[in-house]
């Protein structure tokens, strides 16, 4: 018998060879490849990002004024005048909802820059807002500093305004200048988000992006920032519905991060069902690893909007997702080994609307009520490894009879992601009865099921790539909205 905190039997030591990328040699057999996969670990910047769990997007710009989703870059920017803009309100609301980091659309596909870039006239400096002296990027960055929140920038590679888009060398140079401004003038940047969307179509302008130069610049200026989507650190989950995969590996074949692969699966038009939806498959299962030339830590991010659109539209004020809907998204994103990137679009006044903030706070309350009391706390644990050390049975003798309908599992991803299959069972007084099951765990796995009352729960790890290394186990009772 051992205490909840001393899971030493199943906690693996950090392997000396742990790293965020490994190559696979032609001589590696299946066993060697699986061992390697189990030892791939997040880089410190990826670990920090994963532990945030909840992040937010602020889609704001000329589209907010045009009541559009995709601008064409020809907009008359004199309509941009968010007189009541208060970025502190945005960040305060996000923080009150338990969100840890926010990302601002510094430049969307229409090319309008929310900061006074020196490299184009299509910016806030050429609008009536604050007599051309305003800078939304600065206001958001400063508010993040004030409230202790992470700060990130979204910069669309696809630019429908720039005259040099399609002249690859010139546009890449412009893009590097813009990135430099964003990464040097606003303090610490924690995430850089490169959208893969491109609606040029087969006869459109063809721009070859200088990704390597962009990444080098980011690593140089803001080494702690994760580079997301068209980037090496964070992968798009593959849908904008809020649904993560049931089997979600953070260790993938290196081919998953190629730009061709990302671009092929990104949006090509404004519909919200991306072409080549990447959700169908398990991307990092054993079969995928066997043909890989290398393996990388490449975790998924689930982006979804609190409203139907990414930008604010008055007609959607009654379509804001409810606290229960946000709770479902929480379970299907954070609860499926992903980080949630929830979009909250400020309105034309430059404020988050009351509908959105009420829903966010209701959701926060539901999470707090549900997760404040871990019914496995104080349990006495009896664990034994199976015949192979890649299986384990862990019995939790609860501190009395408890009723719960949620289980939370976390792996210690500092040593890698390992668990491939598990079941959770409850003792009904005479026998063990299965209450739920799953495949991957990863950073966090949350499962819901009809309420169970018992004083004994058994977690059985049926398959793992190396000895399972669990970080946390929790049992909870869902709060009613």
Site residues, ligand FUL (CB under 6 A): 69, 195, 197, 267, 303, 310
Q: Helix (H, G, I), strand (E, B), or coil: what is residue 226?
A: strand
Q: Helix (H, G, I), strand (E, B), or coil: what is residue 76?
A: coil
If the CB atoms of residues 53 and 195 are measured against ligand FUL, the closer one turns out to be 195
Exposure string of 52-65, with b = 16+ CB inside 10 Å and e = fewer, is bbbbbbbbbbbbbb
Q: Residue 422 pairs with which residues in a beta bridge?
A: 438, 461
Q: What is the closest distance, in whole angstroms, from the C-beta atom of residue 156 to ligand FUL in the complex?
A: 7
Q: Residue 446 pairs with which residues in a beta bridge?
A: 408
Q: How far apart are CA 450 and CA 211, in angstroms?
A: 48
Q: What is the closest distance, in whole angstroms, from the C-beta atom of residue 109 to ligand FUL in the complex?
A: 6
Of 85, 89, 159, 150, nearest to 119 by C-alpha is 159
If the CB atoms of residues 122 and 460 are measured against ligand FUL, the closer one turns out to be 122
If the CB atoms of residues 41 and 304 are measured against ligand FUL, the closer one turns out to be 304
Q: What is the closest distance, in whole angstroms, from the C-beta atom of residue 310 to ligand FUL in the complex?
A: 4
Please answer whether residues 171 and 122 qualify as being in contact, where contact means their C-beta atoms are separated by less than 8 angstroms. Answer: no
Q: What is the closest distance, in whole angstroms, from the C-beta atom of residue 266 to ligand FUL in the complex?
A: 6
Q: What is the closest distance, in whole angstroms, from the C-beta atom of residue 267 to ligand FUL in the complex?
A: 4
Of 446, 470, 439, nearest to 247 by C-alpha is 439
If the CB atoms of residues 303 and 420 are measured against ligand FUL, the closer one turns out to be 303
Q: What is the closest distance, in whole angstroms, from the C-beta atom of residue 69 to ligand FUL in the complex?
A: 6
If the CB atoms of residues 345 and 474 are measured against ligand FUL, the closer one turns out to be 345
Q: Helix (H, G, I), strand (E, B), or coil: what is residue 130?
A: helix
Q: What is the closest distance, in whole angstroms, from the C-beta atom of residue 376 to ligand FUL in the complex?
A: 37
Please answer whether residues 141 and 97 qualify as being in contact, where contact means their C-beta atoms are separated by less than 8 angstroms. Answer: no
If the CB atoms of residues 262 and 376 are measured against ligand FUL, the closer one turns out to be 262
Q: How far apart are CA 322 and CA 356, in angstroms?
A: 9
The pair of structure tokens assigned to 25 is: 């040699």
If the CB atoms of residues 344 and 452 are measured against ligand FUL, the closer one turns out to be 344
The pair of structure tokens assigned to 184 is: 């040097």
- Strands 294-297 and 251-253, bridge-based pairing: antiparallel
């Amino acid at each position: 018998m051992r205490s909840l905190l001393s899971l030493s039997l199943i906690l693996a030591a950090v392997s000396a060879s742990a790293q965020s990328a490994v190559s696979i040699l032609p001589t590696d057999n299946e066993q060697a490849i699986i061992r390697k996969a189990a030892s791939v670990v997040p880089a410190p910047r990826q670990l920090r990002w994963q532990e945030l769990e909840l992040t937010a997007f602020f889609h704001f710009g000329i589209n907010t004024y045009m009541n559009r989703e995709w601008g064409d870059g020809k907009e008359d920017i004199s309509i941009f005048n968010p007189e009541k803009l208060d970025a502190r309100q945005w960040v305060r609301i996000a923080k009150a909802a338990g969100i840890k980091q926010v990302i601002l659309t510094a430049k969307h596909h229409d090319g309008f820059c929310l900061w006074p870039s020196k490299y184009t006239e299509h910016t806030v400096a050429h609008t009536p807002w604050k007599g051309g002296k305003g800078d939304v990027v600065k206001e958001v960055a400063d508010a993040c500093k004030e409230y202790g929140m992470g700060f990130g920038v979204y910069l669309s590679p696809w630019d429908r305004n720039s005259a040099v888009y399609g002249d690859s060398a010139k546009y890449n140079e412009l893009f590097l200048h813009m990135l430099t401004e964003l990464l040097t003038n606003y303090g610490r940047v924690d995430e850089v988000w490169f959208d893969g969307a491109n609606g040029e179509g087969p006869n459109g302008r063809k721009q070859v992006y200088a990704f390597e130069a962009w990444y080098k610049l980011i690593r140089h200026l803001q080494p702690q920032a994760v580079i997301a989507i068209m980037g090496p650190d964070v992968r798009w989950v593959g849908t904008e519905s809020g649904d993560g995969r049931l089997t979600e590996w953070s260790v993938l074949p290196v081919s998953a991060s190629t730009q061709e692969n990302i671009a092929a699966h990104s949006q090509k038009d404004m519909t919200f069902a991306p072409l080549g939806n990447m959700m169908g498959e398990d991307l990092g299962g054993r079969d995928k690893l066997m043909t890989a030339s290398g393996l990388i830590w490449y975790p998924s991010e689930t982006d979804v909007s609190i409203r139907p659109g990414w930008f604010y539209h008055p007609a959607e004020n009654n379509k804001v997702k409810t606290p229960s809907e946000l709770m479902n998204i929480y379970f299907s994103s954070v609860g499926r080994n992903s980080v949630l990137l929830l979009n909250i679009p400020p309105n034309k006044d430059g404020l988050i609307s009351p509908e959105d903030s009420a829903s966010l706070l209701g959701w926060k309350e539901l999470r707090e009520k549900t997760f404040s009391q871990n019914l496995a706390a104080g349990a006495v644990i009896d664990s034994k490894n199976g015949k192979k050390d890649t299986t384990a049975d862990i019995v939790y003798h609860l501190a009395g009879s408890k009723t719960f309908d949620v289980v939370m599992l976390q792996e210690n991803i500092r040593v890698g992601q390992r668990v491939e299959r598990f079941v959770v069972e409850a003792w009904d007084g005479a026998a063990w009865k299965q209450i739920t099951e799953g495949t991957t765990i990863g950073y966090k796995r949350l499962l819901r099921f009809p309420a169970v009352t018992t004083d004994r729960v058994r977690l059985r790890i049926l398959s793992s790539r190396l000895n399972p290394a669990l970080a946390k186990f929790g049992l909870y009772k869902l709060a009613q909205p």
